[in-house]
Amino acid sequence: MDLSKETVKDSVNLLEVNNLNIRFYSNGREMKAVNGVSFDIKKGETFGFVGESGCGKSTTSRAIIRLLAENARVPDGEILYNGTDILKLSQEKLRKIRGKEIGMIFQEPMTALNPVLTIKKQMYEQFLGTGMTAKEKEEKAVEMLRLVGIPSPEKRLKEYIHQFSGGMRQRAMIAITLAANPKLLIADEPTTALDVTIQDQIIKLINKIKKQMGMSVLLITHDLGVVSQMCDRVAVMYAGYFVETADTLTLFSKPRHPYTKGLIDALPSTEKKNSSLMPIKGTTPSLSELPDGCPFGPRCPYCQEKCTLELPEMAEVEPGHMVRCHFSDKLIGASGLISIEDGEKQ
């Protein structure tokens, strides 16, 4: 794993999210999709959300540009972009942020791009209201396709998304999103639908363009491997809660939450050849019937009585490393517990 990323420190927050809560209502039932989430993204930084599907990572990212479903409510929280609260913006002002300031790429370009409009038409939508001439638009569009590594861009511009191959589709969507020069790119599982080799190319591409354009990136993924290749800092989400945030190196080397540990242990590893993968037992709780105490309690191997009664708060265990666990200090060497099991097996 490549953990040599330099952490960006002490720079300005581009995005700051404070105590964000999101609820879904369907058929008179309330689902607590996101609970008290706080984080910030600095200029030029890549921040990652990692967690199982349904943990609220996509919902949180969509809330940032207010793309939530009709039955979603945000009862509480603020989302500050360069100091202005996005949740309080008028529709008109929101539109100025969408695309131009915060751009988004989706998991499946095949469904995220309009199947009956050419790439060119969808790219040109980014230039609406910029006063660019037809020639400038054409040049910029070609430049963008070239930037993401699509060969013969003049020709491909006139094609439809179904005429592209898997990897090229994702490149095309990245090109369209970045054509508006966003300062923050939200990438929702950008590599999940791709083959491993193409996945690697896309990761490198995003990393390269990020540096070139000086963007920040919010990466949503369930794949810790992708996190290690892209992120400066990571938040681990479980059942709508942040359970641990840290810089990538710390998270991988000194995880303090049992869930994070579980995720890391579930990774296939080249170092521990003989050890079997350690899946996390049980399933995620229903968002409408969260347990009273720690949401991870029912699946946690170290669960105590206190955990079933009282929801732990996010607590800073060392600078920049927050954990939501009553017993986080006891878990410092907890890799010990696992490694004892490993030892027994070997």
Partner 1 sequence: MADKIKKKKKINISLLIGIIIVSAAIILAVCPSFFTTFDPEAIDSQSMLAPPSALHLFGTDNYGRDIFARVIYSARIDLFIGVGAMIVPFFIGTAVGIISGYYGGKIDALLMRILDIFMAFPYMVLAIAIVAITGAGIKALFISMWLVGWKEYTRLVRSEVLVVKNSEYVEAAKVLGYSDLRVIMRSIIPNVLSSAIVYGASDIVMCMMSGAAMSYLGLGVQAPTPEWGAIISGGKAFLSVAWWITVFPGIFLVITGLGFSLIGDGLSDMLRQKGR
Partner 2 sequence: MDVLNYTLKRILQMIPVFLIVTVLIFVLIRAIPGDPAMVLLGEKATPESLAALREKLGLNESYITQFFLYLKGIVTFDLGDSIKFKAPVSQLILSRVGTTICLTAMSTFFTVIFSFIPGYIAGIKKDKIPDQIVRFIALVGLSVPSFWIGLVLLTAFAVKIKIFPVSGWGNTPWEHFVGLILPSITQAIAVSAVLIRNLRNNVVDIKNSDYVDYARSKGISPLRISTHHIIRNALIPTTTLLSLKLIAMFGGSIVIENVFNLPGIGALLVNSIYARDYAVVQGIVIMFVIVVMVINLLTDIIYSILDPRVKLS
Residues numbered 84-103 forming contacts with partner 2, rule: CB under 8 A: 91, 94-100, 103
Answer yes or no whether residue 162 interacts with partner 2 by CB under 8 A: yes
Q: How far apart are CA 88 and CA 68, in angstroms?
A: 15
Piece of 82-90, 104-112, 189-197, 230-238 that binds partner 2 (CB under 8 A): 104-112
Letters for 180-199 (x = contact with partner 2 by CB under 8 A, - = none) are: x-------------------
Distance of CA 323 to the CA centre of its chain: 18
Piece of 114-122, 204-212, 270-278, 308-316 that binds partner 2 (CB under 8 A): 114-122
Picked from partner 2, partner 1, none, the partner binding residue 235 (CB below 5 to 8 A depending on kind) is: none
Nearer CB in complex with partner 2: 6/70: 70
* Tokens read off for 103: 């751009």
Please state at what angle helix 335-345 crosses helix 258-265, rounded to 10 degrees.
Answer: 30
User: Does residue 131 sit in helix, strand or coil?
Assistant: coil
Nearer CB in complex with partner 1: 26/114: 26
- Side-chain half-sphere of 309: how many Cα atoms within 13 Å? 3
Picked from partner 2, partner 1, none, the partner binding residue 311 (CB below 5 to 8 A depending on kind) is: none
Query: Which DSSP string do the residues of 87-110 spell out, in sequence order?
Result: GG--HHHHHHHBTTTEEEE-S-HH
As measured in angstroms, the least distance from the Cβ of 277 to partner 2 is 32
As measured in angstroms, the least distance from the Cβ of 29 to partner 1 is 5
Answer yes or no whether residue 106 interacts with partner 2 by CB under 8 A: yes
Letters for 18-37 (x = contact with partner 1 by CB under 8 A, - = none) are: --------xxxx--------
Q: Of 177, 191, 229, 250, which lies in the binding site for partner 2, with binding defined by CB under 8 A?
A: 177
**In Å, what is the CA distance from 82 to each residue of 17, 99, 117, 226, 308?**
11, 15, 34, 27, 39
Which helix (H) or strand (E) covers residue 341, if one does?
helix 335-345
Letters for 128-147 (x = contact with partner 2 by CB under 8 A, - = none) are: x-------------------
Q: How far apart are CA 162 and CA 289, in angstroms?
A: 41
Nearer CB in complex with partner 2: 27/133: 27
Cα dihedral angle (328, 330, 333, 339), rounded to 10 degrees? -100
Query: Which DSSP string do the residues of 293-331 spell out, in sequence order?
Result: S-TTGGG-TT--HHHHHSPPPPEEEETTEEE--TTGGGG
Q: Of 11, 53, 114, 212, which lies in the binding site for partner 2, with binding defined by CB under 8 A?
A: 114
Picked from partner 2, partner 1, none, the partner binding residue 26 (CB below 5 to 8 A depending on kind) is: partner 1
* Tokens read off for 291: 């347990």
Q: Are strands 29-42 and 13-26 parallel, antiparallel or unpaired?
A: antiparallel
Picked from partner 2, partner 1, none, the partner binding residue 104 (CB below 5 to 8 A depending on kind) is: partner 2
Q: What share of the chain is helix, strand, coil (3-state, %, to 5)?
A: 35, 25, 40
Answer yes or no whether residue 197 interacts with partner 1 by CB under 8 A: no
Picked from partner 2, partner 1, none, the partner binding residue 111 (CB below 5 to 8 A depending on kind) is: partner 2
Q: How far apart are CA 211 and CA 213, in angstroms?
A: 6
Question: Which positions lie near partner 1, rule CB under 8 A?
Answer: 26-29
Question: Which positions lie near partner 2, rule CB under 8 A?
Answer: 65, 67, 69, 91, 94-100, 103-104, 106, 108, 111-117, 121, 125-126, 128, 160, 162, 173, 176-177, 180
